[in-house]
Structure 1
Amino acid sequence: MAAKVPKVKFNNGNEIPIFGLGTWKSKPGEVEQAVKDAIDIGYRHIDCAHVYQNEQEVGKALKAKFSEGGVKREDLFITTKLWNTYHRPDLVEKNLKISLADLGLEYVDLYLIHWPMAYKEDADIFPRDSEGNIVFSDVDYVDTWKALEKLVEKGLAKSIGLSNFNKKQIERVLAVAKIQPANLQVECHPYLNQSKLIDFARSKGITVTAYSPLGSPDRPWAKPDDPQLLDDPKLLQIAKKYNKTSAQVLLRYQVDRGIIVIPKSVTKSRIQQNFEIFDFSLSKEDIEKLNAFDCNGRLVPMTAALGHKHHPFENDEY
């Protein structure tokens, strides 16, 4: 099954499967089995992050699958991300080494700066002051990027990239980069189709990964009256036409646009169903219909860090 997943080539020649398993919001006690199930189904790309606080369990799943002999390390593509409290250049390698130890790996295939904003170092994941506000650090992400480049030189990361960066921020990184970012991971779905940012990234040779491709219905801050992308009547109409679920249409939408996509699930039947998108493709007309859903409907606004000088969604061009 894994053989049928197309791969996308990075600007450094490395390749990433266009489809993978997301692990954000996958609870400890659930994520180990989810990763095992995904690998059995044919997934070869797992997206992780230090801040998800579940990498030790992902590591257990990887160890179990390697010991069974069905997959080898080189068969899998593993992404993880540098957290905001480790942006200071002398802490970057430390954070990756924590992830590597948790995952039981000697290297990752892709290491991303998770957010452009730095938080107070040597503190909790979300360091807060007495009033409950996040405590920021003034480390500049361009200095953080230079530290990521050293990880490639040391063989700890095969490729490096960015997550949740806007156009101007990407341009600042490109201006100092000895190693070009290989990938940009951003929220992306029809309510926030990111066409301008995707076009810009591609013009610079940067591939794009879509997170929350199903509209993140389980995001902790969702309100009962928020629109539910999966239930959008126009989407359901398209799904009926292809005899597919609305989730399958949303995932195929990204693949047909050449966007890497990482749906999260811990339910085996859903993990299987999400994977069953390689036996159809959407017409250009239906892709245009889905693009027309765009309403700048950002579902992961990172409001806790509003006011940070490097917040990507305040006054950003795109």
Structure 2
Amino acid sequence: MTIQLKGLNDVVELNNGVHMPRFGLGVWQVTEEGQVEQAVLSAVKAGYRSIDTAKIYGNEDGVGRAIRDCGVSRDELFITTKVWNADMGYESTLQAFQTSLDKLGLQQLDLYLIHWPVEGKIKDTWRAIEKLYKDGKVRAIGVCNFHIHHLEELLKDAEIKPMLNQVECHPLLGQVELREFCQKHGIVVEAWSPLMQGNLDLPELAELAKKHGKTPAQIVLRWDLQHGIVTIPKSTHENRIIENADLYDFELSQEDMALIDGINQNKRFGPDPDNFDF
């Protein structure tokens, strides 16, 4: 896959025609008072237009305040949140969505996701999310942390195909088979923890960082984008937020990409979606 990248305004077209920014800000674990607001405001000022939160992050209200205070019109922003495991099920998902919407202070959400594939709850939850989509309360819908077998099971009965699958994905966990499956079915892949929770001290990344005059983090994020993977690195520091987005004045060659691809160890820093307990 060859992706032509121009800048932070680059978008990917989801399978329902909605355009989503290829690059955004994640706000997992950003819970200190005022911290998430400052991170979102810094990101929007730097040109970011996509913000990814979740009920379980405990910061939807702070994200909502930043959205209202950022000085950018609502229709320029792409806001994602997720239904948490304890809220899965048909009626409870509908209620959880409204709670999230109220905390964010929005009339409509851009993307709503199932956070984890909770056994026995996926299909009822997806029916509720389909209803939210049909009712115009959310512009796009999808899932997180779904392996191929989870997607296959969902697709058997789904009236509406997921538009996106957000998964742990980085050079040490390349997710090649899953990415190929999603591409075949028109499902965009988005990476959480793209920077391997800071575990960037790898010789291959150091070599490419030196070659291109960039940081190892920038090398990884550029690798994501050139593979067509939507990416949402988290940071609370304005200088790092700006640095993370400084990806458009260089290009990784096919050899560079292959070198990074070769790092894969199928290593997770987060839970395995087939074995999680929360």
Q: TM-score, normalised by structure 2?
A: 0.94
For the pair 1:234 / 2:204, whether they are aligned, the reply is yes
2:274 paired residue among 285, 308, 312: 312
2:45 paired residue among 9, 33, 40: 40
Conserved? CA contact 1:28–1:57, under 8 Å? no
Query: 3-state DSSP class of the match of 2:107?
Result: coil
Number of corresponding residues: 270
Superimposed CA distance per residue, residues 82-123 of structure 1 (whole angstroms, 9 cap, x where no aligned partner): 1001111111111111111111111111100000116xxxxx
Distance 1:12 1:201 in 2: 15
Distance 1:233 1:111 in 2: 38
Superimposed CA distance per residue, residues 279-317 of structure 1 (whole angstroms, 9 cap, x where no aligned partner): 111111111111111111111015xxxxxxxx5358xxx
Distance 1:193 1:231 in 2: 17
Q: What pairs with 1:1-318 in structure 2 (closer than 5 Å)?
A: 4-29=8-33, 30-65=35-70, 70-117=71-118, 139-217=120-198, 228=199, 230-301=200-271, 311-313=273-275
Q: State the Cα distance separating 1:3 from its structure 2 match.
A: 6.4
Distance 2:223 2:266 in 1: 17
Conserved? CA contact 1:55–1:103, under 8 Å? yes
Distance 2:9 2:206 in 1: 25
Q: State the Cα distance separating 1:64 from its structure 2 match.
A: 0.9
Superimposed CA distance per residue, residues 245-268 of structure 1 (whole angstroms, 9 cap, x where no aligned partner): 001001000000011000000000
Which amino acid in 2 is paired with 1:236? A
Distance 2:112 2:37 in 1: 21
Which amino acid in 2 is paired with 1:249? I
Q: TM-score, normalised by structure 1?
A: 0.82
Q: State the Cα distance separating 1:4 from its structure 2 match.
A: 4.3
Query: 3-state DSSP class of the match of 2:196?
Result: coil
- Once the two structures are overlaid, the 10-residue window that deviates more, 204-213 or 28-37, is 28-37
Considering only CA atoms, is the larger Rg found in Structure 1 or Structure 2?
1
Divergent runs of 4+, >4 A: none
Query: 3-state DSSP class of the match of 1:297?
Result: coil
Distance 1:27 1:117 in 2: 25
Query: 3-state DSSP class of the match of 1:31?
Result: helix
In structure 2, the partner of 1:134 is none
Q: State the Cα distance separating 1:5 from its structure 2 match.
A: 2.7
Distance 2:9 2:154 in 1: 31
Query: 3-state DSSP class of the match of 1:231?
Result: coil
Query: 3-state DSSP class of the match of 2:197?
Result: coil
What are structure 2's unaligned runs of at least 5 residues? 1-5
Distance 2:8 2:60 in 1: 27
Which amino acid in 1 is paired with 2:23? F
Conserved? CA contact 1:32–1:60, under 8 Å? yes
What are structure 1's unaligned runs of at least 5 residues? 119-138, 218-227, 303-310
Distance 1:164 1:248 in 2: 24
Conserved? CA contact 2:130–2:160, under 8 Å? yes
Which amino acid in 2 is paired with 1:211? W
Alpha carbons of structure 1 residues 253 and 3: separation in structure 2 relative to 1, 3 Å: closer
Distance 1:262 1:240 in 2: 24
Conserved? CA contact 2:12–2:20, under 8 Å? yes
